[in-house]
Amino acid sequence: ETWRYAFEEAMDEVQGKFAQKFKEEVEANSDNEVQLFPFGTLGESADIMEQAQSGILQFVDQSPGFTGALIPEAQVFFVPYLLPADEGQLIKFFRDSKAIHELFPPLYADQGLELLTMFPEGEVMMTTTKPIAGPADLNEVKFRVMTNPLLVASYQAFGATPTPLPWGEVYGALQTGIIQGQENPAFFIESTKMYEVANNITRAGHNNFTTAVMANKEFFDGLSDADKTVVRNAIAAAFDYTVDYQSGLTETSLQKIKEARPDVTITTLTEEQRAPFKATAAAVEAKFLEIGGPQAKPILDQMKADLAAAAGN
Ligand code: 6CS
């Protein structure tokens, strides 16, 4: 059989690396073939999700940044400063989290999706046309966010004017001045050349980019037990591979950006400068409980317990 798998990034970006490893594992361990569709071949994130739900695609990688509209609980990943900055803790959390492995799958199942994995793609950084040292500098900045109500609330709390847009419109919107900022991990800022149209990079340490890989549920349920195992093993192998691939990626990406455009500023905010951003977390968390769907509270409570466990507490 041929399985179709679409993702939100290019072949040589993190989701593409994951997908290629998944394909390699599936094809080495079964007679199935995996056809990969990178960003731009089948539409935006919202389009590939629809295609996966309707069964045109068997697999899809869509980030909670877009799934939040479909599964309100997935917005939890946009409570600022919830995920740890420490990489070891972060990976441990993604590997062991009960919220991810037990509480989220039924919510995805309700939308016709088999949740296969979630994984991190790196520290999120702001890129803006003007330097940012604190919330006051975000005043009147139209800041592009993914189409996720809690991410909108979070940037409102940060003092910006959040502007939800699909990914394909971001470069042009920065270029023409419709927006003045956006956020993404360093590898993505580098590969998509965001620094060309917004040359100030700010590390507020407020989040790590989470993504999720799913299968069409009807398709997955119809697989033989052997094929289900092939899929699950391929996902596990791709997870490990992607974690290794990302080791040191943030720093090498920032280095490449500096080389490509020496006048880029890269500012790591001090603890003192981060304090007003951190102070918004409680209000954004309260907002999540309000708009995060019927399972918002159990998901948030479980996430916190999982994060404490990953931190060794
Ligand atoms: O900002 C976005 O919309 C995109 N960012 C990343 C890192 N991956 C895909 C997503 O579409």
User: For 70-88, what is each residue's pLDDT tens digit?
Assistant: 999 999 999 999 999 999 9
For the chain, how big is the Rg over CA atoms in Å?
19
Q: What is the pLDDT of residue 164?
A: 98
Strand partners, 143: 162, 181
Q: What is the pLDDT of residue 205?
A: 98
Ligand 1 binding pocket includes 163 (Cβ within 6 Å): no
Residue among 63, 152, 211 to mutate when testing ligand 1 (max atoms within 8 A of CB): 63
Which segments in the chain show pLDDT lower than 70?
none
Q: What is the pLDDT of residue 69?
A: 82
Give the count of domains, the chain: 1
Interface ipTM: 0.99
Q: Which whole-number Å values give the CA distances from 282 to 26, 82, 159, in the listed order?
A: 43, 10, 15
Ligand 1 binding pocket includes 300 (Cβ within 6 Å): no
Q: What is the pLDDT of residue 313?
A: 82
Tokens, residue 152: 């909108």
Q: What is the pLDDT of residue 271?
A: 98
Q: Which whole-number Å values give the CA distances from 227 to 28, 87, 112, 164, 239, in the listed order?
A: 12, 32, 19, 38, 18
**CATH number, domain with residue 22:** 3.40.190.170
Q: Is the dihedral of CA 276, 194, 82, 299 positive or negative?
A: positive
Tell me which residue range forms the domain holding 212.
2-310
Ligand 1 binding pocket includes 167 (Cβ within 6 Å): yes
Burial class (CB in 10 A: 0-12, 13-18, 19+), 196: middle
Tokens, residue 292: 């995060």
Q: Is the dihedral of CA 61, 62, 64, 68 positive or negative?
A: negative
Atom nearest to 121 CA in ligand 1: 7
Atom nearest to 167 CA in ligand 1: 3
Ligand 1 binding pocket includes 8 (Cβ within 6 Å): yes
